A and B are shown apart, each in its own frame.
Chain A
Amino acid sequence: MRTELAARCIEITEERGRGNTIELRLEFPCTQANVRRALASIMSGLGAMDLSEDDSSTVELVLAEVLNNVTEHAYRDAGLGLIRLHLKQTDDGLSCRVIDNGDAMPRNTPPRGYPPNPNGPLETYPEGGFGWFLIRKLTSDLAYLRDADRNILSFRIQIGQTVQTN
């Protein structure tokens, strides 16, 4: 099934794989507004996976963080450039691949995502740096490849497991 969404700039393809698993492919120009639209399309497209509310919010959060990073950093908020996203249901989660043609990650390595520090005085409370911490906390098998002028980030979001706080 191929659906042209109201946004028109987002193309989403839904496929049913072996065992009736869900597979989604999206391609869209990266703007913050499109990231919002893409997330709405994805969450609706994953509806048949019957995710719990907890899993559903984890998937939406991880994808939001990854897509926002591409928009803000790889494409420097210029609103130009495409994001391609491939999501595939697996036995224990959702396998994800995100491809863009923006800037490479610094030192060709995804940030470590150190745990935020809630201690210390008010002035030192962190206002950023949460994104990669959350991505790493909520995903497994994260891999990044700079291939010519492309960034290829792949990871798995585990589903049906409770994430423990540090």
Chain B
Amino acid sequence: MQLDTAHYDGLMVVSVLEDRMDAAIALDFKDAMRDLTSDAPARVVLDMATVRFLDSSGLGAVIGAMKQLGHQRRLELAGLNPSVEKVFRLTRMDSIFTIHANIDAALGGVATIDAAPRGQAHAY
């Protein structure tokens, strides 16, 4: 699976560059998130704008990724497509996340470390 990371002041963005977050990639996603966020800052924003399908396994993996971050850091979500948002809403798991309309809203007021944030692609 393809994930992309960018670092800002006190915030890290992980973009999911996958069309589907389903049973086929749920475990890989959770493992990848453990690696990528091991030294993450206080806020980790998961940009899901590319994801157009999420099933219960994908949902479980996103929640697992949040639990891995522990109490000192938190996972926020951005760019949920309607079909993805519906799964969070029906299961009421939308209530445990801060959800931003898009990545720009999540980044509002955050200073970039560099003029252009360091972006890095990761393949798992």
Taking a contact as CB atoms under 8 Å apart, the answer to whether B23 and A72 are in contact is yes
- Name the one of B22, B66, B71 contacting A64, with C-beta atoms under 8 angstroms: B22
Taking a contact as CB atoms under 8 Å apart, the answer to whether B91 and A134 are in contact is yes
Minimum distance in angstroms from B50 CB to a CB of chain A? 16
Q: A130–B91 Cα gap in the complex (Å)?
A: 7
Q: A33–B20 Cα gap in the complex (Å)?
A: 12
Q: A122–B70 Cα gap in the complex (Å)?
A: 8
Taking a contact as CB atoms under 8 Å apart, the answer to whether A118 and B24 are in contact is no
Minimum distance in angstroms from B30 CB to a CB of chain A? 9
Minimum distance in angstroms from A165 CB to a CB of chain B? 5
Taking a contact as CB atoms under 8 Å apart, the answer to whether B24 and A53 are in contact is no
B96 surroundings in chain A (CB, below 8 A): 118, 125
Taking a contact as CB atoms under 8 Å apart, the answer to whether A165 and B23 are in contact is no
Interface string of A42-53 (1 = CB under 8 A from B): 000000000001
Kindly state whether residue B63 has any CB partner on chain A within 8 Å: yes
From A11-19, A20-28, A54-62, A99-107, the one touching the partner chain is A54-62
Taking a contact as CB atoms under 8 Å apart, the answer to whether A134 and B56 are in contact is yes
Taking a contact as CB atoms under 8 Å apart, the answer to whether B90 and A163 are in contact is yes
Counting contact residues on chain B (CB < 8 A from A), the size range is: 20 to 34
Q: Which of B71-106 contact A (CB under 8 A)?
A: 71, 82-83, 86-87, 89-93, 95-96
- Name the one of B57, B83, B95 contacting A68, with C-beta atoms under 8 angstroms: B57
Q: Which of B43-85 contact A (CB under 8 A)?
A: 53, 55-57, 59-61, 63-64, 66-67, 70-71, 82-83
Q: A33-B24, A128-B60, A134-B56 are in contact. Are A57 and B90 (CB under 8 A)?
A: no
B59 surroundings in chain A (CB, below 8 A): 130
Q: A54-B82, A134-B87 are in contact. Are A118 and B56 (CB under 8 A)?
A: no
Q: Which of A100-116 contact B (CB under 8 A)?
A: 115-116
Other than the known A53-B83, A125-B67, what 5 A-B pairs have Cβ atoms closer than 8 Å? A127-B60, A128-B56, A131-B56, A133-B91, A165-B90
The residues of B with any CB-CB pair to A shorter than 8 Å are 20, 22-24, 53, 55-57, 59-61, 63-64, 66-67, 70-71, 82-83, 86-87, 89-93, 95-96
Interface pairs A-B: 5 shortest CB-CB:
A57-B83, A130-B56, A127-B60, A131-B56, A32-B24
